[in-house]
Amino acid sequence: MTLIDEVLMNNITSNKPIWIMRQAGRYLPEFREIRSRNPNFIELCLNEKLSSEITLQPLRRFNLDAAIIFSDILMLPYGLNQKVEFKKNIGPILGNLNLDNILNLKEIDFVEKLKPVYKLIKLIRNNDLTKNKNTIGFVGAPWTLLVYMINQESPKLGLKNDFFKDKIFLNETLKVIEKYLIIHIKNQVESGAQIIQIFDSWAGLLEEKDLSNYIYEPTTNLVKYIKSLNIPVICFPKGIKKYKEFCEIVNPSAICIDYEVDPKQIMKDIKIPVQGGMDPKILLTDRENLKKEVKKYLDIFRNHPYIFNLGHGILPSTDPKMMDYLVKMVKDY
């Protein structure tokens, strides 16, 4: 049994495993070298040899407890034949959404388009570097994918003015997303993913009155499905105000918290295992500051099942030496 399994399945509090969101990627020079030769991000994700190499890069450097697959939540709209491209300094840009075309899509065609993702997971599981470590697969949450597919770009500057205009269309699209997320999860698990994380990056955009329809109900359906496969599921509803309510309704195996949340309050409110919390910007400061912040989280969750992680993805300008220092601190705690 791995350290993360002990925390997620047996609620062990003595060990504090660590993995980092986006640990495979932009801050590592060896990743940047591969990326410079492969400018098309989607094609890179669909090259199982390169994506498996990128997934393993941080495990060669650091004593992490999991490999998180190098992929993207927008592989789902790509699999549904919606155009997806990544523009430098802008982010993802998606094409028009044709719901009729998606409704007529055959499941076999969707799986075929994403087959390299499943091959990547098999390659990771068969690598010596992942012995006694978990392989983590992931998906975007239904709400966050709905945002990207309809907004057609990152909602950093807000949602389109008419985003909620056609409720029937939104709900039909949400059902389709949920259906294909289950297919995508099933194939990841069958390929060897041992944990699934659900990233709800834009949960914080919703008003409280809309949480049930767009977050609680569809995410609960996914969580129930993943648990039926005897696989633990970690939910990350970034920016949500009511983590306690989310945990009580959705009931994931563990909750990942963002850096705007008070960890002491989480410790009081949440009974299930907790992951994450530290602001990624702390890694851009100095060792003394990093040490203080890491110790804060480890002390707060000393007697609670806890996986050390950040409150969002590691930033591209992070020095790998700071990451190394962070991992060693957690391991020596």
Residue 90's CB is within 10 A of a number of other CB atoms, namely 10
How high is the pLDDT of residue 88? 84
Residues 162, 170: contact at Cβ < 8 Å?
Answer: no
pLDDT digits (tens, 9 = 90+) for 23-52: 999 999 999 999 999 999 999 999 999 999
What's the structural domain count of the chain?
A: 1
Question: What is d(CA 116, CA 212) in angstroms, rounded to the nearest whole number?
Answer: 34
DSSP 195-229: EEEEE-TTGGGS-GGGHIIIIIHHHHHHHHHHHHT
How high is the pLDDT of residue 208? 94
Residues 193, 135: contact at Cβ < 8 Å?
Answer: yes
Closest CA to 311 of 5, 9, 21: 21
Side chain identity, residue 88? K
pLDDT digits (tens, 9 = 90+) for 51-82: 999 999 999 999 999 999 999 999 999 999 99
How high is the pLDDT of residue 74? 98
pLDDT at 157 > cutoff 90: no
For residue 138, what is the enclosing H or E element? strand 134-140
Phi, psi of 48 (to 5 degrees): -65, -30
CATH number at residue 78: 3.20.20.210
pLDDT digits (tens, 9 = 90+) for 196-248: 999 999 999 999 999 999 999 999 999 999 999 999 999 999 999 999 999 99
- Identify the domain containing residue 164 by its residue range: 3-332
Phi, psi of 27 (to 5 degrees): -85, -10
Q: How much of the chain is helix, strand and coil, in % rounded to 5?
A: 55, 10, 35
